[in-house]
Amino acid sequence: MIKVVCIGHNYAYEVKELLKLFYPPEEILISINDETVEAMVSIDEVIISSVNVIDEQIIVETEIQYNGKIEKIREVRNLMNCNVLHKRKVEKNLVKRGIFQLLEKVKKTYIPWGILIGIRPTKIVHELMEEGKPKEEILKILQEEYLIQQEKGQLLLSVAETEHPFIYPIDEDKISIYISIPFCPTRCIYCSFPSNPIKQWGHLKDDYVDALCKEIVETAKDFNHRGKIIETVYIGGGTPSTLNITQMEKLFNCLKDSFNLQTIKELTFEAGRPDTIDEEKLQFLLNNGVTRLSINPQSMNDCTLQTIGRNHSVEDIKKAYFLAEKVGFKNINMDLIIGLPGEDSSMVENTMKELLDLKPNNLTVHTLAVKKASQLKEEKESYRLEEEEEVIKMLKITQDYANKMGLKPYYMYRQKHMLGHLENIGFCKPGFEGIYNILIMEEKQTILAFGAGAVSKFVFPKENRLERVPNIKNLELYLERVDEMATRKKNYL
């Protein structure tokens, strides 16, 4: 167990998030200005983190006591002419740096992202680019200030450069739309999304599409006279391809009648599970303006597909992929997860070899995150998950194959509880970037979201402010309270 005593500051939340990289949450104790030794618990390490501000100087001292030894770090920064916000940011980073550097030494854990614990590390690079800093300086700041490894710094920089033209100049009149279809054939063991297995909940699909259309129509009434332009539409979930043709038709007609979709640059449709796809549906989607399709194998190993709770085979994935190509889709994304239960790096290599034959223009590689709402979290003991080193090897394999396939990283994000403290990366052939993915990650554009579990984001760039407006996740409650979902958004429009 570790105890951290914060003196002269109250960054307990940030400190706790950082400590989770080294300790399970239940082994972390944080106190403010209280160095009392706990009587009832056994503390292995104690850190004292103190901040002193003298004139324009911030002095941060960090001390760790472990195994009868003591180590210390002291950093001083002169912050003349800096505003309060900037001073606070520097102070917070210095506190995190002190703790990180001492723990890295004592615990000898591989933490490639340094003190960056947020989901969107590219945001920092965009900020530095906006300040006009050259590449070399940005890389130096990432390594020296945020203590991230060089290879991760280069990844961030290259992703931010690719994203830049899709985000800037910021235009408040452009928005995107997200539609949630929260049904799946079965629930995958790692899933924490709004997803309801068809067997139990499929009888509500018609009612759901009706409610969704109601929410769209009601919101559009208030939206359309505001002169906004729709840039991208993303239909995700769940598995939207669980809808039948009549339901899809209703949804697409409602969207076209409610919004002007003439201006959109991209319409993505997730047809994640091959057992929900047929030629008629694919043809319908192509005829109705879908430009980007996602078929998500997660793994190309039959035994893993069984383990994670899928009712289809690798052969089904290949058939669905070739069918989508035959119908005429040029931009097909495939999602993978590394670190799935029972998989080692040779199995990931097998997946990549299979994908090398398919040659998708888009590939998204996720690192498994054991999330609270998943079956995997509840039954973690029953599954074999690989150690950190093996997962790092897996990520490297996917990157090497992506390179062979001519794919470049174009967006990335991190999640809590990821194996190996790694990241998720979207790769694509140049010109096939998933624009919605970039926009949702960088949070520079308003996203109007519809359906159960969907979260709208209203962005106010001039105020550097973002408001999240979530819809109800529970399917039955959503159906009951759909009018309220439209009203919630209207309040922000």
Binding site for ligand SF4 (CB under 6 A): 184, 187-188, 191, 193, 195, 237-239, 272-273
- 159 or 188: CB nearest ligand SF4: 188
Nearest to 230, CA basis, from 422, 43, 485, 445: 445
Amino acid present at 198 = I
In angstroms, give the least distance from the CB of 188 to ligand SF4.
3
- 187 or 265: CB nearest ligand SF4: 187
How, if at all, do strands 57-66 and 69-78 pair? Answer: antiparallel
In angstroms, give the least distance from the CB of 237 to ligand SF4.
6
Q: Phi-psi category of 342—alpha, beta or left, where left has phi over 0 and alpha has psi -120 to 50?
A: left
> If you write DSSP's letter for every residue of 154-198 in order, what string do you get?
HHHHHHHHHHHHHH-S--TTEEEEEEEE-EESS--TT--SS-EEH
In angstroms, give the least distance from the CB of 253 to ligand SF4.
25
- 242 or 456: CB nearest ligand SF4: 242
- 114 or 185: CB nearest ligand SF4: 185
In angstroms, give the least distance from the CB of 323 to ligand SF4.
19
- 242 or 291: CB nearest ligand SF4: 242
Distance (Å, whole) CA 320 – CA 324: 6
Tell whether the torsion through CA atoms of 149, 154, 157 and 163 is positive or negative. negative
The secondary element (H helix, E strand) that includes residue 253 is helix 245-258
| C-alpha to C-alpha distances, 355 to 78, 189, 363, 405, 479, nearest whole angstrom | 53, 23, 9, 9, 39
Expressed in angstroms, the distance from the first to the final Cα of the chain is 48
* Spacing of C-alpha 209 from chain mean position: 27
Q: Which two tokens stand for residue 134?
A: 């050259």
Please report, to the nearest 10 degrees, the dihedral formed by the alpha carbons of residues 261, 267, 273, 279 taken in order: 70
- 143 or 415: CB nearest ligand SF4: 415
In angstroms, give the least distance from the CB of 176 to ligand SF4.
20
- 94 or 363: CB nearest ligand SF4: 363
In angstroms, give the least distance from the CB of 206 to ligand SF4.
20
Q: Which two tokens stand for residue 153?
A: 């710094």
In angstroms, give the least distance from the CB of 178 to ligand SF4.
14
In angstroms, give the least distance from the CB of 185 to ligand SF4.
8
- 309 or 461: CB nearest ligand SF4: 309
| C-alpha to C-alpha distances, 147 to 64, 104, 139, 153, 425, nearest whole angstrom | 19, 11, 11, 10, 20
In angstroms, give the least distance from the CB of 351 to ligand SF4.
16
| C-alpha to C-alpha distances, 413 to 119, 122, 439, 460, nearest whole angstrom | 6, 8, 12, 22
- 133 or 187: CB nearest ligand SF4: 187
Nearest to 57, CA basis, from 30, 78, 35, 81: 78
